[in-house]
Amino acid sequence: MSHHQLQSPSSLAHLARIRDFCTKLPEVEEKADEFGHTTFRVKDKPFIMLGENDGQVSTALKTELTTQEFLLGQEGTAYQKTPYIGRHGWVSIWNVDLVPWTEIQDLIVEGYARTAPKKLVQQLKSTKS
């Protein structure tokens, strides 16, 4: 499945929502990767990647392996194991309209916490308390 840069109005709206949330996390950068995906990174390590295929947005999130197993095990799940990097805990949402925004936010924070240095995770936790 080839991905392309985000172009459809729904993909761009989803990106804007993700960007608004991610830029509130400590030291997050938005960057396009070599495949044209829009990524959000901390210390140059991605924790979320967005692409588009036939006008449909694809959102891949870095999760704990236990979270990945739980999400993939749900009946009628909107998640699938991300090709190539799924063995590292990445899941992809094949239809973001089926996933509540609060769930996506929780997964973004989980991915950030798995990726960021402990110092930044502590900084995030102290701002949440």
pLDDT recorded at residue 35: 86
Q: Distance between CA 27 and CA 11 in Å, rounded?
A: 24
Mean pLDDT over 80-97 rounds to 94
Domain positions in the chain are: 9-119
pLDDT recorded at residue 4: 60
CATH fold of the domain at 9-119: Aspartate Aminotransferase, domain 1 (3.90.1150)
Which DSSP state fits 82? P
- CA angle at 124 for the pair 91 and 6, rounded to the nearest 5°: 40
| pLDDT of 56 higher than 90 | no
Q: Distance between CA 64 and CA 101 in Å, rounded?
A: 19
Q: Two tokens at 45? A: 């390590």
Contact call for residues 117 and 45 (beta carbons, < 8 A): no
Residue 64, number of CB atoms within 10 A of its CB = 14
